[in-house]
Amino acid sequence: MPSRTEPGRVRNARFQEYLRRLLNLERPGASRLNELLVPVVPIWSPTAAEHYRTRDERLWAATTTATGGVGTIPLVRIGLQSNAAPNTVVIVEEVVAESDTLVGIAQISFALQAVAAGPGVRGSDLDARSANPGLVLVSTTLEAATNPAAQVGTNFFTAGAAQSTPLSLPFAVVLEQGVSLVVQLGVTGANILRVNAAGRERVLDATETL
């Protein structure tokens, strides 16, 4: 049983005024809030990774490799499997991209495309408390593909990358069914694009779909 003085619990006196303001309670002079009022999560970190399951969010990570060819560029689409539950959204929080065979400096670009991700590498659940941690449990997928010469979509971010030098970018991209985050190389030829991505996914509440 948690101690009455355990940091982060409402029983700790330093959270009493915080809760009065948060809940808009009157009688600021009241001695203390109910001693039995203890939150499920620590007040200071409701968005900590270990509390995502409380909100039915699943952590995921996946990696795949795309190879270009004559007149084509390699690209990777990050999105939802076609059989994902209705109103599922993917939150992409980090992407690491690199090219192994790239000579010199070339552009790695990011775009949103109104095309669903096709069959590919599905993300692995990263919560060890899940039934099968590390196995394929989530709906997010990374599809390796190519495109003739031109890049697809409208790039919202482009950066130069040297050969075998990872480009790591934090993101806050929310994807729904039928829309993909596209990571693509800016040169044609037999170049290899490796993409690692991580984030969260969840089903929207009814109030969020109105």
* The amino acid at 55: R
- Domain residue spans of the chain: 1-46, 50-208
pLDDT of residue 5: 45
Protein fold of 50-208: Jelly Rolls (2.60.120)
- The rounded percent of the chain whose pLDDT value lies above 70 is 72
User: What are 209's two structure tokens?
Assistant: 């779909």
pLDDT of residue 149: 79
From residue 124, give the alpha-carbon distance in Å to each of 27, 49, 52, 104, 132: 50, 15, 15, 33, 9
Report for 38-47, 144-153, 192-201: range of highest mean pLDDT:
192-201
- As a whole number of angstroms, the distance between CA 143 and CA 34 comes to 52
Query: What would the pLDDT profile of 149-169 be if each residue is shown by its tens digit?
Result: 778 888 888 888 888 788 888
Taking the CA atoms of the chain, what radius of gyration do you get in angstroms? 22
The yes-or-no verdict on residue 3 having pLDDT over 50 is no
Nearest-CA neighbor of 61 among 201, 202, 205? Answer: 201
